[in-house]
């Protein structure tokens, strides 16, 4: 009998993740907090939202925090806050979720896709410099998978060129750069509180900033009910009757849940980080896995655990075979969906918002920007990054030990992997042909 579970052997992972490694999506204390609001009838507006904002701003270290309906809405607010408008270019990575880039189109701006650093997977300052033009208005920095981007280099470029820095901190609640919380370094930052995040309201978002003008503009865009409460000298009070056409008021029940999670965030991050590091330590002798690098000034949180698979270090065994073998062993893992935005029709063809098509992306021939080169690192990461493990939310060394054993077992059985690959050539071909392997295993 073969050793690999893929070929009929025993599974390496026998401990049930949901029983020992996961946490309840909503804890009892969070349910209590939500029910309390319902009992009070505060299901649309509640003072709890502003209390949460004050607490979140204090945690991140900014003057202001503004809760909204989603991280996407917070990004729309941030772009509006810094004044992105028709024809303005915003540098943004393609190795991210669509919400980092699509709102640039909604603001009638031009997303200019930038390559990422091959070690951190975050936007590459060298490539930022290459793609600057007189029309560059902002840089959208994504601290991807909770890993801080090189903020020193990015802020220096931004300062030298008079452009704004927006942090998409949707994966980085509690990450730090040089001792400061991510979300406090750029001009404005956005957090997602969607259900899969380390702070989850179900749906929700938060914008943070130290800049009063940006804060008021964010309020103006989506929070008409708050405009009359702005200081008398605010330029935006006059819009209190109408707002600006969007409504981003957050759901207080979600915020009641998120507020409880904020109280526990540091403790939970500590557990996740201890587990993430323990797993990485156990895998460090495996050549075909290249762990996402944290820069010396960065402190990451393990909100998601993605890394590079280098098939050249495993005699050309494809990622799809590697993942199939791991899954058979009981490892929760999967292909990564990031790194494809620059190929998406929204950006390659543009979208007709009214007359003309200002949102055409500069990655292809575009009316406003010269043709730019491809994104080699992004495309490498698109094809080779994968989810190493789920988020380990509880101390669970025994389970992580089984994951470490599973990875070692798989890489020790190259001949069997190759045999399997030969027998399943079609799966490999279809992956390569379509370039869309995400849902194939």
Ligand X SMILES: Cc1ncc(COP(=O)(O)O)c(C=O)c1O
- Which residues sit at the interface with ligand X, rule CB under 6 A? 70-72, 96-97, 99-100, 142, 168, 170-171, 192, 194, 205
Q: 76: which 2 tokens?
A: 């729309």
Looking at the Cβ atoms of 73 and 110, the one nearer to ligand X is 73
E strand or H helix at 342, and its extent?
none
Report angle CA 216, 189, 115 to the nearest 5 degrees: 135
Pairing of strands 298-299, 110-114: unpaired
Looking at the Cβ atoms of 275 and 303, the one nearer to ligand X is 303
Report angle CA 142, 147, 150 to the nearest 5 degrees: 70
CB of 77 to ligand X, least distance (A): 12
Look-up of token digits 């819009």: 239
Q: 420: which 2 tokens?
A: 């399997």
Looking at the Cβ atoms of 207 and 372, the one nearer to ligand X is 207
φ/ψ of 259, rounded to 5, equals -65, -40
Cβ within 8 Å of residue 285, ≥6 positions away: none
φ/ψ of 96, rounded to 5, equals -170, 180
Looking at the Cβ atoms of 68 and 269, the one nearer to ligand X is 68
CA pseudo-torsion sign 281, 117, 196, 435: negative
CB of 96 to ligand X, least distance (A): 5
φ/ψ of 188, rounded to 5, equals -155, 150
CB of 195 to ligand X, least distance (A): 9
CB of 196 to ligand X, least distance (A): 7
Cβ-closest residue to ligand X? 71
CB of 439 to ligand X, least distance (A): 17
Looking at the Cβ atoms of 10 and 196, the one nearer to ligand X is 196
Looking at the Cβ atoms of 104 and 417, the one nearer to ligand X is 104
CA distances to 123, 138, 164, 273 from 88, in Å = 19, 8, 12, 39
CB of 101 to ligand X, least distance (A): 9
- 361: exposed, middle or buried (Cβ count in 10 Å: 0-12, 13-18, 19+): buried
Looking at the Cβ atoms of 167 and 379, the one nearer to ligand X is 167
CB of 404 to ligand X, least distance (A): 27
CB of 154 to ligand X, least distance (A): 16
CA distance 173 to 167: 12
CB of 385 to ligand X, least distance (A): 14
Looking at the Cβ atoms of 150 and 192, the one nearer to ligand X is 192
- Tell me, what DSSP letter sits at residue 148? P
Number of CB atoms found within 10 A of residue 432's CB = 12
Pairing of strands 176-177, 205-209: unpaired
CA distance 326 to 206: 37
Looking at the Cβ atoms of 97 and 407, the one nearer to ligand X is 97
């Amino acid at each position: 009998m073969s050793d690999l579970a893929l070929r009929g052997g025993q599974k390496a992972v026998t401990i049930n993740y949901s029983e020992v490694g996961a946490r309840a999506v909503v804890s009892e204390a969070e349910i209590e907090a939500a029910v309390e609001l319902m009992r009070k009838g505060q299901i649309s507006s509640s003072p709890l939202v502003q209390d949460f904002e004050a607490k979140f701003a204090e945690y991140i270290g900014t003057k202001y925090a503004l809760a909204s309906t989603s991280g996407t809405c917070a990004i729309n607010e941030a772009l509006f806050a810094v004044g992105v408008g028709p024809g303005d270019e915003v540098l943004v990575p393609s190795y991210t979720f669509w919400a980092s880039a699509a709102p640039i189109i909604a603001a009638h701006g031009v997303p200019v896709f930038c390559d990422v650093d091959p070690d951190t997977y975050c936007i590459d300052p060298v490539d930022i410099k290459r793609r600057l033009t007189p029309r560059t208005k902002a840089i959208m920095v994504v601290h991807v998978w909770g890993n801080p981007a090189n903020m020193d280099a990015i802020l220096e470029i931004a300062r030298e060129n008079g452009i704004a820095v927006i942090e998409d901190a949707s994966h980085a609640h509690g990450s730090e750069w040089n001792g400061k919380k991510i979300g406090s370094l750029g001009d404005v930052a956005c957090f997602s509180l969607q259900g899969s995040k380390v702070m989850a309201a179900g749906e929700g978002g938060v914008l943070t900033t130290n800049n009063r003008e940006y804060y008021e503009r964010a309020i103006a865009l989506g929070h008409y009910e708050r405009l009359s409460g702005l200081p008398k000298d605010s330029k935006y009070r006059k819009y209190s009757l109408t707002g600006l056409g969007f409504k981003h008021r957050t759901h207080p029940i979600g915020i009641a849940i998120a507020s409880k999670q904020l109280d526990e965030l540091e403790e939970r991050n500590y557990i996740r980080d201890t587990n993430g590091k323990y797993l990485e330590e156990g895998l460090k002798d495996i050549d075909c896995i290249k762990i996402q690098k944290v820069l010396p000034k960065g402190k990451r949180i393990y909100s998601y655990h993605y890394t590079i698979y280098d098939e050249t270090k495993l005699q050309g065994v494809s990622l799809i075979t590697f993942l199939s073998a791991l899954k058979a062993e009981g490892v929760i893992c999967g292909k990564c969906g990031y790194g494809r935005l620059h190929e998406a029709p929204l950006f390659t063809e543009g979208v007709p918002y009214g007359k003309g098509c200002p949102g055409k992306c500069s990655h292809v021939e575009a009316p406003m920007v010269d043709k730019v080169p491809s994104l080699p690192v992004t495309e490498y990461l698109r094809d080779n990054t994968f989810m190493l493990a789920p988020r380990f939310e509880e101390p669970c060394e025994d389970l992580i030990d089984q994951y470490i054993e599973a990875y070692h077992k798989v890489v020790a059985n190259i001949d069997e992997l190759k045999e399997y690959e030969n027998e399943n050539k079609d799966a490999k071909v279809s992956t390569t042909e379509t370039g869309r392997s995400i849902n194939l295993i």
